[in-house]
Amino acid sequence: MAKEVFYSGCAAAAYGAKDARVEVISSYPIRPYTGIMMELSKLVANGELDAEFVHGEGEHAQVSIAYGASAAGARAYTGSSGVGVAYAMECYSPAAGGRLPCQMAIADRALDPPGDFGSEHTDVMGARDQGWIMGWAESPQEVYDNTIMYYRIGEDHRVQLPQFCCQDGYFVSHIPGRMKLEDQKAVDEFLPPYNPPHPLDPNRPVNHGPQIFPDQGSAINVQRAVAFDEIESVIEEVVKDYNKQFGRKYSPFVDEYMMDDAEIAFFLQGAHARTARFAVNHLRKQGVKVGVARLRFMRPFPTKAIQESLSKVKAVGTVETSTSYGGQSRGGNIIHETRSALYPLDKRPIVTSFMAGLGGEIVTLNEFYAMAKVLSDAVKTGKANDSYWMNFEKEVLDTHK
């Protein structure tokens, strides 16, 4: 039976993994994601989940264990945060290139120095180009749902790719929300057991990850490119099925709020979208035509859905929660690909970016009001800077007053 609960994002991820019937779990502690493993180890110890629980000696080992388990044909689960995500960097491309659909839960965290533990997308955004599926949830419910959906997307034979199932550290991972755990039978129906192309079989032994020559490298890269050409239609299918089976209302790629008549829009991923929607409610009362478009997948970057959504407005502000020092915008990451996605359109909005929520700071309502002011001015003047660092530049100073 489905069950109403009040869970944090960490517990939601653990129960998502449990209901996905993961078979091998590899752990190593680092906050904030570690709450997921605490919950899972209890479930395994209590006999509620029949899975191998393996302790890695670090994150590099964790992902290597998930790689091996997935190669053997198991549904594998691991996770990390912050510098832990960075430490496992070497393992990401082999898992994707080897087409092993293990899942890594990310409760994001700022990178050092100094030793900040707040939420920031910078950690796993550094691994965005390795061939993993990647997207952020904004609530514990979405964490649970994504955990289950990502396995079905990743394990689809048209895709066969590992997944970063991300949530904002603390804002989602440690704040409980009302959510629904679905009936195990219904989840089993939605997510059948993993059908690996090369299950561990003594009669049919295989080599994973052999040495190859450089002229084979390009062909392996093309395989991943083919998968990312196919993946958008698979995601659409899976999200549609999930919505139907469990009565959700997810749009596959871009979650819109008051976008239909909007003139300006906040474009962002993850938990801060909630605050953005409240800011929109307040701003609408003052007559500002503003909306929110929330990105549900960073990889694949859903170019078409973004074009459809953001072409409705005159100015877009990407709210960056990660850094791209020295990048074109001299700010964050999302603006680069957003502008690039909108460039071929005949009528495209002004795109700027706001550096907010860095180091795990809350993005306040006042900050969103300041952003709206910059965007409204941009509509009037037709101009905006590439990036604004909230509270550190004259256009966006003193937003905490």
Partner 1 sequence: MSRFIIPKHLEVPLGAVLPAPVKEQPGMITGNWRTERPVIDHEACTTCLNCFIYCPDACWHLDEKTEQMVWNADYCKGCLICINECPANCLEPVNELEFPDGVVRLEKPF
In the complex, which residues of this chain contact partner 1 (CB under 8 A)?
97-100, 160, 197-198, 204-213, 215-216, 218-220, 222-223, 225-226, 229-230
CA distance 235 to 152: 9
In terms of Cα–Cα distance, which of 33, 37, 35 is closest to 22? 37
Q: How far is the CB of 219 from partner 1 (least distance, A)?
A: 4
Q: Is 291 helix (H, G, I), strand (E, B) or coil?
A: strand
Q: How far is CA 122 from CA 81, 106, 113, in A?
A: 10, 11, 13
Largest CA distance in the chain: 71
Q: How far is the CB of 93 from partner 1 (least distance, A)?
A: 12
CA distance 170 to 329: 28
Q: How far is the CB of 346 from partner 1 (least distance, A)?
A: 24
**For 145-163, b where at least 16 C-beta lie within 10 A, e where not — what string?**
bbbbbbbbbbbbeebbbbb
In terms of Cα–Cα distance, which of 130, 136, 80, 75 is closest to 106? 80
CA distance 72 to 32: 29
Q: How far is the CB of 300 from partner 1 (least distance, A)?
A: 15
- Please count the CA atoms within 13 angstroms of the CA of 223 that sit on its side-chain side: 13
Q: How far is the CB of 254 from partner 1 (least distance, A)?
A: 24
The tokens describing 343, both together, are 């460039």
The tokens describing 107, both together, are 């409760």
What angle in degrees, to the nearest 10, is found between the helix axes of 303-310 and 334-342? 80
Identify any residues that bridge with 142 across adjacent strands, giving them in sequence order: none
Q: How far is the CB of 55 from partner 1 (least distance, A)?
A: 27
Helix extents (H) in 57-101? 59-72, 82-87, 89-97
Q: What angle do CA 31, 130, 213 make, to 5 degrees?
A: 135
Q: How far is the CB of 69 from partner 1 (least distance, A)?
A: 15
344: how many CB neighbours lie within 10 A of its CB?
A: 9
Q: How far is the CB of 213 from partner 1 (least distance, A)?
A: 5
Identify any residues that bridge with 4 across adjacent strands, giving them in sequence order: 180
Q: How far is the CB of 97 from partner 1 (least distance, A)?
A: 7
**Smaller CB distance to partner 1: residue 45 or 222?**
222
CA distance 213 to 368: 51
- Sequence length of the chain is 401
**Smaller CB distance to partner 1: residue 100 or 363?**
100
**Smaller CB distance to partner 1: residue 218 or 381?**
218
Q: How far is the CB of 358 from partner 1 (least distance, A)?
A: 37
**Smaller CB distance to partner 1: residue 175 or 222?**
222
**Smaller CB distance to partner 1: residue 95 or 283?**
95
